[in-house]
């Protein structure tokens, strides 16, 4: 019991080494879960995997078109060049908290080219990011987990903000809803679509992945930060086939635009 | 010459197998689209605690919680689930009664332990300003109570039978 208390204190203190226990657990139990979990070797699973791939190709095409129309060629980011999608099946869902599951296990791992911090998507949008990888399985921190916040653009104006699970103050949220915190000066309205802002090298998130839709804007109530309730694009409690985006870190300088 | 009798810890083996089955069940049922899932691990912890008392219940709960913390996908903060289930085992063990007990009493202990465990999760999420999925939390508690009312008497009966045969 004392050893457990020590591990909890060390982990909450941010020293980090207790998280390596996950790697040991994944190495031992990962193959068991691949065997016990639902198999993806049927026609429906293959069709769903194809849907995930097609949805990602469509998203990339849209993102490319948007970037071209807005700031071409300055924002023709090479982040997506060379990226590929690995279809995966959810074989285990972590013991849920009161706000829902925070982690899931996929049946793909290091041997499939999966690495930590790669983004995970479903047909409808963002699922989360890879946080642990073993030889045959990988663990994903889901959008809606307390420790995951995502930079987003909202609406047609591309207002910047952060989306996470935690709400501020008296703002009420129903189960599964997220909170958007808009950067100072920005404004959003109900119905605005949110997409990922993107990260350097496409990790942990590439730009343009649907995150959700603004459900309602909170009453500011004297606070400086403008917040809104967000309905996520993907219901993480009903995940089946997902895709891991194998992004390739940029190695070439970004081309400069000429007048 | 009389050979020494080998006492194989069958009860320990049974508890271990039940724990493995419960952990794999909890983690894979949701992946098969069954949601909300009953807390099968808590049910086994309650059964062991009612059979062996609060100290053994707490120890088994700690072990069971660590299993959930380590088997993929695990928990975000390793050790917290172990402490939660240790407390649940100690709580259930306090209601241990000598001799035969009725199914209503076992269901009551299962209900109290499930409610207390879920209440800790709710308070922890509210403290972190996370939105609580009340319908799912309520359904999970109800399912856990129902499964405990069915499974705990079976486990207690089997363990009592093994004890009478000297296999405990």
Q: What is the pLDDT of residues A31-78, one digit of tens each?
A: 777 777 666 667 776 777 677 677 767 666 665 555 444 433 333 444
Please check whether residue A257 lies inside any domain of the structure.
Answer: no
Please check whether residue B43 lies inside any domain of the structure.
Answer: yes
Please check whether residue B3 lies inside any domain of the structure.
Answer: no
Distances (CA, A) of A175 to A98, A124, A235: 9, 19, 11
Please check whether residue A193 lies inside any domain of the structure.
Answer: yes
Best of B36, B73, B82 to disrupt the A interface (most A CBs within 10 Å) is B73
Domain span at residue A176?
150-234
Please check whether residue B51 lies inside any domain of the structure.
Answer: yes
Please check whether residue B108 lies inside any domain of the structure.
Answer: yes
Q: What is the pLDDT of residues B29-62, one digit of tens each?
A: 888 878 788 999 999 999 999 999 999 999 999 9
Contacts with B21 (C-beta within 8 Å, 6 or more apart), sequence order: B40
Distance CA A183, CA A70 (A): 21
Report which DSSP code applies to A58: H
Q: Inter-chain contact A96–B41, Cβ cutoff 8 Å?
A: no
> How many domains, chain A?
1
Residue A144 has pLDDT above 50, yes or no: yes
Average pLDDT value over all residues in chain B: 88
Residue A80 has pLDDT above 60, yes or no: no
Strand, coil or helix: what is A153?
strand
> How many domains, chain B?
1
pLDDT of the residue at B19: 94
For residue A174, the chain B residues in CB contact (below 8 A) are 131
The distance of B5 to chain A (nearest Cα, Å) reads 34
Distance CA A24, CA B8 (A): 30
Between A224 and B41, the more confident residue is: B41
Residue B5 has pLDDT above 60, yes or no: no
| Least-confidence region, from A32-36, A121-125, A141-145, B79-83 | A32-36
The distance of A167 to chain B (nearest Cα, Å) reads 5
- What CATH number did the domain enclosing A205 receive? 2.40.10.350
Q: What is the pLDDT of residues A166-197, one digit of tens each?
A: 776 556 777 778 999 888 777 888 899 999 98
Residue A157 has pLDDT above 70, yes or no: yes
For residue B129, the chain A residues in CB contact (below 8 A) are 166-168
Please check whether residue B1 lies inside any domain of the structure.
Answer: no
Please check whether residue A40 lies inside any domain of the structure.
Answer: no
Which residues 115-154 on chain B approach chain A with CB closer than 8 angstroms? Answer: 118, 121-122, 124-126, 128-137, 140
Q: Inter-chain contact B74–A92, Cβ cutoff 8 Å?
A: no
Please check whether residue B151 lies inside any domain of the structure.
Answer: yes
pLDDT band at B152 (very low <50, low <70, confident <90, very high): very high
Please check whether residue A219 lies inside any domain of the structure.
Answer: yes
pLDDT of the residue at B33: 79
Distances (CA, A) of A218 to A182, A213, A229, B86, B126: 11, 14, 7, 40, 18
Distance CA B12, CA B21 (A): 14
Please check whether residue A101 lies inside any domain of the structure.
Answer: no
**Cβ B91 vs Cβ B111: under 8 Å:** no
Please check whether residue A214 lies inside any domain of the structure.
Answer: yes
Please check whether residue A6 lies inside any domain of the structure.
Answer: no
Residue A138 has pLDDT above 80, yes or no: yes
- What CATH number did the domain enclosing B124 receive? 1.10.1760
The answer to whether B85 faces chain A, any CB pair under 8 Å, is: no
pLDDT of the residue at A101: 85
Domain span at residue B86?
10-163
The distance of A75 to chain B (nearest Cα, Å) reads 35
Distance CA B54, CA B47 (A): 11
pLDDT of the residue at A194: 92
Q: What is the pLDDT of residues B111-139, one digit of tens each?
A: 999 999 999 999 988 888 888 888 989 99
Please check whether residue A145 lies inside any domain of the structure.
Answer: no
Nearest by CB to residue A33, choosing from B69, B72, B130, is B72
């Amino acid at each position: 019991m004392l050893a457990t208390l020590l591990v909890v204190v060390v982990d909450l203190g941010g020293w980090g080494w207790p998280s390596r226990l996950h790697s040991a657990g994944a190495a031992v139990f990962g193959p068991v879960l691949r065997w016990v979990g639902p198999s993806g070797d049927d026609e429906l699973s293959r069709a769903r995997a194809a849907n995930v791939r097609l949805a990602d190709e469509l998203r990339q095409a849209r993102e490319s078109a948007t970037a071209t129309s807005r700031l071409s060629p300055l924002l023709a980011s090479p982040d997506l060049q060379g990226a590929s999608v690995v279809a995966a099946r959810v074989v285990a869902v972590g013991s849920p908290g009161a706000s829902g599951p925070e982690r899931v296990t996929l049946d793909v791992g290091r041997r499939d080219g999966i690495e930590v911090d790669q983004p995970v998507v479903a047909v409808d949008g963002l699922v989360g990011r890879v946080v642990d990888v073993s030889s045959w399985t990988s663990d994903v921190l889901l959008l809606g987990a307390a420790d995951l916040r995502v930079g987003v653009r909202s609406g047609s104006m591309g207002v910047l903000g952060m989306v996470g699970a935690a709400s501020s103050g008296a703002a009420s949220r129903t189960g599964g809803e997220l909170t958007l915190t808009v950067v100072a000066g920005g404004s959003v309205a109900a119905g605005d679509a949110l997409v990922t802002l993107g990260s350097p090298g496409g990790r942990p998130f590439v730009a343009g992945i649907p995150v959700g839709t603004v459900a309602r804007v909170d009453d500011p109530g004297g606070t400086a930060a403008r917040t809104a309730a967000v309905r996520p694009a993907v219901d993480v409690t009903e995940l089946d086939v997902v895709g891991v985006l194998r992004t390739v870190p940029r190695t070439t300088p970004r081309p400069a635009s000429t007048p | 010459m009389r050979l020494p009798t080998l006492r194989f810890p069958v009860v320990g083996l049974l508890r271990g197998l039940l724990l493995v089955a419960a952990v794999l069940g909890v983690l894979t049922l949701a992946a098969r689209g069954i949601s909300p899932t009953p807390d099968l691990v808590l049910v086994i912890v309650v059964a062991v605690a009612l059979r062996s008392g609060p100290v053994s219940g707490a120890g088994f709960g700690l072990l069971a919680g660590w299993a959930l913390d380590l088997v993929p996908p695990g928990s975000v903060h390793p050790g917290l689930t172990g402490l939660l289930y240790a407390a649940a085992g100690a709580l259930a063990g306090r209601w241990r009664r000598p001799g035969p007990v009725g199914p209503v009493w076992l269901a009551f202990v299962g209900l109290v332990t499930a409610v207390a465990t879920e209440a800790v999760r709710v308070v922890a999420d509210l403290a972190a300003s996370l939105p609580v999925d009340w319908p799912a939390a309520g359904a999970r508690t109800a399912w856990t109570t129902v499964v405990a009312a069915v499974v705990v008497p079976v486990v207690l009966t089997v363990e009592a039978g093994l004890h009478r045969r000297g296999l405990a």
